[in-house]
Amino acid sequence: MESEIKNLNRRQFLVAVGTTAAAAALRCRGSAAKAAARSSRPNFVFIFADDLGWGDLGCYGNRQIRTPNLDELARKGMLFTQFYVNARTLVPHATLHPTDEQMKPYQRYAPQGVPYKGAKQIYYASVSDMDRQIGRLVKRIDQLGLADNTVIAFSSDNGPEDFDIRNAVHSGIGDTGPFRGRKRSIYEGGVRMPFIVRWTSRTPAGKVDDKNIVAGVDWLPTVCSLAGVKLPAGLNPDGEDMSQAILGKPWTRSKPLMWEWRFRVFGDMAHKSPMLALRDGKWKLLMNPDRSRVELYDIGNDPTELDNVADQNPQVVRKLSERLLKWQKTLPAGPTDDVAGSNAYPWPTNK
Ligand SMILES: [Ca+2]
């Protein structure tokens, strides 16, 4: 084929390609029965943003950043308010470098009287551009007639970056919504992410799920379940099949979610979480392995994690801390920062 193409001019080449495509289409038609059998298995498209916060999308309450395409995805699918990521801070960064054209809608956030671009202009324009590109992808999926057989999911890998990180300082604008904690923190703002799922033939349109606790670790068992594929024998995933939740049906999580962060947390004191966390039902326990900090929050009533009720609930702390420490012992050994889990401040003294 390659040697034949060399001797064709451009028009002949396009005709040849067209003919090949037509022949392929005919072959497909001949195996329509097989294709129909395959089509009972959905396609999966998971769009995973880098360092985007829970509060960075219009459909999650942001009133400054325009994200019409993701808002539309949520209107036609489901939006989860309690979606968590466990293995995070992994996706390589792309520098935010929007064009002047892309920043135009956010001109009013430019610093006044100085010729600099503002962090808000840069970050907001970048989120809006991401939204625009997702809009193009979704439109194409719909144009191809694949909507009813395609699960489209959107989330982020961790909370927004902090101003302290110089090569990503513009992302310090990212919004965690009402939550404390940013990237690296295991307070809600660092680990609780947007999660939108649209499957036009199966997910209830426009439903907000404020009840189910779902997580990135659930994705593998869920995809396998929806595709009718068995998990490999011997694989015992941390996650659970959340397909019923995605379909808008009753479902209850059976296992708690757990986190460990062995490194420094940058930025404001309020983000410096203990090293370990566990979410079980309404409770979230955060602690250091040596119990130097123990915090218990009723997340349903206190999503901002400001009212530590550990002292009032010793039984809950005992039960959850035992489970969390037992889990931590199963993790691989590795380096730990000296300041991990610390919220110490160099307080002025008379010494
Ligand atoms: Ca990230």
Tens-digit pLDDT profile for residues 226-270: 999 999 899 999 999 999 999 999 999 999 999 999 999 999 999
Q: With beta carbons less than 8 A apart as the criterion, state whether 191 and 85 touch.
A: yes
**pLDDT of residue 36 exceeding 70:** no
Region 334-347: what's the mean pLDDT? 94
pLDDT at position 89, please? 64
Q: How far is the CA of 88 from the centre of ligand 1 (A)?
A: 7
Give the mean pLDDT of the chain.
Answer: 89
Residue 12 carries which side chain, given as an amino acid letter?
Q
pLDDT, one tens digit per residue, over 277-323 is: 999 999 999 999 999 999 999 999 999 999 999 999 999 999 999 99
**pLDDT of residue 23 exceeding 50:** no
pLDDT at position 151, please? 98
**282: which residues sit within 8 A by CB, 6+ positions away?**
298, 299, 300, 301
Rounded CA-CA distance 82/192 in Å is 7
**Domains, the chain, with CATH or none:** 40-254 (3.40.720.10), 256-344 (3.30.1120.10)
Q: How far is the CA of 3 from the centre of ligand 1 (A)?
A: 46
CA distances from 80 to 83, 84, 86, 148 (A): 6, 10, 16, 20
More confident residue, 18 or 130: 130
Q: How far is the CA of 322 from the centre of ligand 1 (A)?
A: 30
Q: How far is the CA of 179 from the centre of ligand 1 (A)?
A: 18
User: What pairing do the DSSP bridges indicate for beta strands 150-156 and 78-84?
Assistant: unpaired
pLDDT at position 217, please? 95
Beta strand segments in the chain, E: 43-49, 78-84, 150-156, 192-198, 207-209, 214-215, 257-260, 276-280, 283-287, 294-298
Rounded CA-CA distance 295/293 in Å is 7
Q: How far is the CA of 51 from the centre of ligand 1 (A)?
A: 4
**pLDDT of residue 16 exceeding 70:** no
- In this prediction, residue 7 has a pLDDT band, given cuts at 50, 70 and 90, of very low
Q: How far is the CA of 259 from the centre of ligand 1 (A)?
A: 16
pLDDT at position 295, please? 98
pLDDT at position 91, please? 59
Q: How far is the CA of 239 from the centre of ligand 1 (A)?
A: 20
pLDDT, one tens digit per residue, over 60-77 is: 999 999 999 999 999 999
Q: How far is the CA of 216 from the centre of ligand 1 (A)?
A: 14
CA 53 and chain centroid, separation:
8
Q: How far is the CA of 111 from the centre of ligand 1 (A)?
A: 27
Q: How far is the CA of 89 from the centre of ligand 1 (A)?
A: 4
Q: How far is the CA of 161 from the centre of ligand 1 (A)?
A: 8
Q: How far is the CA of 274 from the centre of ligand 1 (A)?
A: 20
pLDDT at position 39, please? 59
**pLDDT of residue 93 exceeding 80:** no
Q: How far is the CA of 326 from the centre of ligand 1 (A)?
A: 28
CA distances from 82 to 9, 112, 212, 257, 298 (A): 57, 38, 7, 12, 14
pLDDT at position 37, please? 47
Q: How far is the CA of 156 from the centre of ligand 1 (A)?
A: 8
By the 10 Å C-beta count (0-12 exposed, 13-18 middle, 19+ buried), 163 is classed as middle
CA distances from 296 to 293, 305, 327, 351 (A): 10, 8, 18, 34
More confident residue, 25 or 133: 133
pLDDT, one tens digit per residue, over 109-148 is: 999 999 889 999 999 999 999 999 999 999 999 999 999 9
Rounded CA-CA distance 345/7 in Å is 74
3-state secondary structure 258-319: EEECCCCCCCCHHHCCCCEEEEECCEEEEECCCCCCEEEEECCCCCCCCCCCCCCCHHHHHH
* Gyration radius from the chain CA atoms: 24
Q: How far is the CA of 43 from the centre of ligand 1 (A)?
A: 25
Rounded CA-CA distance 101/92 in Å is 26
Report the range of poorest mean pLDDT among 20-24, 184-188, 281-285.
20-24
pLDDT at position 8, please? 39
By the 10 Å C-beta count (0-12 exposed, 13-18 middle, 19+ buried), 22 is classed as exposed
The H or E element spanning position 331 is none
pLDDT at position 5, please? 35
Q: How far is the CA of 183 from the centre of ligand 1 (A)?
A: 8
Q: How far is the CA of 276 from the centre of ligand 1 (A)?
A: 19
Q: How far is the CA of 112 from the centre of ligand 1 (A)?
A: 31
From the CB of residue 181, how many other CB atoms can be counted at a distance below 10 Å? 25
Q: How far is the CA of 205 from the centre of ligand 1 (A)?
A: 29
Region 36-45: what's the mean pLDDT? 76
Q: How far is the CA of 308 from the centre of ligand 1 (A)?
A: 28
Rounded CA-CA distance 281/350 in Å is 46
More confident residue, 301 or 12: 301
Q: How far is the CA of 270 from the centre of ligand 1 (A)?
A: 20
- In this prediction, residue 337 has a pLDDT band, given cuts at 50, 70 and 90, of very high
